[in-house]
A and B are shown apart, each in its own frame.
Chain A
């Protein structure tokens, strides 16, 4: 069995459980229990079915589940009332989802328009309440990217009185641009760091796109007496050169920090694109009196500068110092070296690890959350059969022991008694493993009764006593099959299999 087949098997098992849960939830919803927890549970079930279906490319199932999920989202948000009509529609939708799952599992194709009527009703319901106020519910992300309009603001160029100020570039259409030469101005906000994004990682991504040079703008750094550890003082000018580079490729690097920084991406003109990478940074920084260019400093000079800053700063917790954006200067100086390791933030993570935790304990901790495994029924059945053979053999051995042998071989008798006891324990344990929750069998009954009531035109009330036994694991494969939702079989299995003391149920006709 391939990995994909394994995943599909897991998915179909999960779908089976989720569809059963949907049955249960809607039985309660139909009875009037329409609280938020229940609606959220229903939403999550469809959401999970859709998520898995997407992974396997079950497009028809994804399409229907998405429309259904949207309706449920509106219901739980209160935008659509969970009226009886909507409940009935949802129950029908559950059937359609189940049919889609069954179809992809068996490889059979459903009609192309299967479920389209219900889907249209979802859309109509959603449109009726929300079209005027909210069109973003299912909008693809790309539709929002057009909100961003890049604006190049280069105050340095204006202040320097250059012949061709940077902001004039936008007003000079005749100037030819050089494909693949880009200038990026990037100023992070505090939120960028708060969400664990890091300019260094962005630069690493950019460096993979082409030849990059980075210039740190440190003119906003205040004197140490005014320095706020969590404030953001640094911005960067980045020049990136690669023949096939497009703005979309650059913007994709900044996808996660959109809104958490000021950024402009501008394609340089042909007459100003060259000479930028190596010489321009040093030349430009020279125009910023009072602030040394970290990129131009030798390693020991950078370290000396940082040592001075740390020594001069007020005493602070090591972890806080680590988080301070200002320290990223040092990391920046490291990252601009080709193939330099980036280890600035890794060290404290190691340091925070409790030293007293032994490795064996660590291994034990990793098992948290793994409380069950899934095993093929065939494998379990093989074990059940072998244990059955063992029980028979043990019984035969016991029967062979007549009084003469018992008197003569006392130790053997004791051994057989222990064997009998152990075999019984093993049999009980294996049967407990094989037992299946009967919940999935009986959770379908309310729905079966409801459909019977609709077909017969009678009001039927199903009363299920001893509800505390609904999870009792006393079923077997036959019990699973008995869940086949046919009325006659239901009637027989319900009354024949269920002992009156264990599962008393009564189908009562009101008329």
Chain B
């Protein structure tokens, strides 16, 4: 079975570390970016099965990042999960309108996180 590659994009080192720990233990290969721009650079140089991104980030926020990813033809079917503490419908809808596939609300439960990834990945 192929190892799933996950790109995690968050400006919080704590969240990145927790995601890395959780996903690595679940058998995923995890790569990290600290903002949307860095995420786009990594996307140019590698193939991923799913992206998990924060919304509020410096340099390039999550909404803009998702728009750029979707604008790239080859990534139109790449699942993007929005990882955020925002629980308002407004923020969630903005992420979704930009092309987000689903969302995970922080703080995330490890089992729930894995289950959500499997919901959107073949």
Contacts and interface: CB of A to CB of B under 8 A. Distances in A.
Interface of A: 3, 6-7, 10-11, 13-14, 40-41, 43-44, 47-48, 50-52, 54-57, 136-141, 144, 194-198, 200-201, 205, 255-256, 259, 319, 322-323, 342-346, 349-350, 352-353, 362, 365-366, 368-370
Contacts of A137: 88, 90
B47 A205 contact: no
Given A139-B88, A195-B100, A55 B107 contact: yes
Interface of B: 2, 11-15, 17-18, 21, 31-34, 38, 41-42, 45-47, 49, 56-58, 70, 73-74, 76-80, 85, 87-90, 92, 96, 99-103, 105-108, 119-122
Nearest to B103: A256
Given A14-B12, A195-B96, A256-B119, 9 more contacts: A6-B17, A11-B14, A41-B58, A51-B106, A136-B89, A195-B100, A201-B119, A201-B121, A344-B122
A198 B33 CA distance: 26
17 contacts: A6-B17, A13-B13, A41-B58, A48-B56, A51-B15, A52-B12, A137-B90, A138-B88, A140-B87, A200-B122, A256-B120, A319-B73, A345-B122, A349-B47, A368-B38, A368-B45, A369-B31
Contacts of B49: 349
Contacts of B58: 40-41, 44
Contacts of A43: 56
A140 to B, nearest CB: 5
What 4 A-B pairs have minimum CB-CB distances, sorted nearest first? A256-B102, A54-B107, A52-B14, A55-B107
A47 B85 contact: yes
B17 A50 contact: no
Contacts of B122: 198, 200-201, 342-346
Which residue, of A40, A140, A256, A319, has the highest number of chain B Cβ atoms within 10 A? Answer: A256
Contacts of A40: 56, 58
A287 to B, nearest CB: 33
Contacts of A194: 70, 76, 99
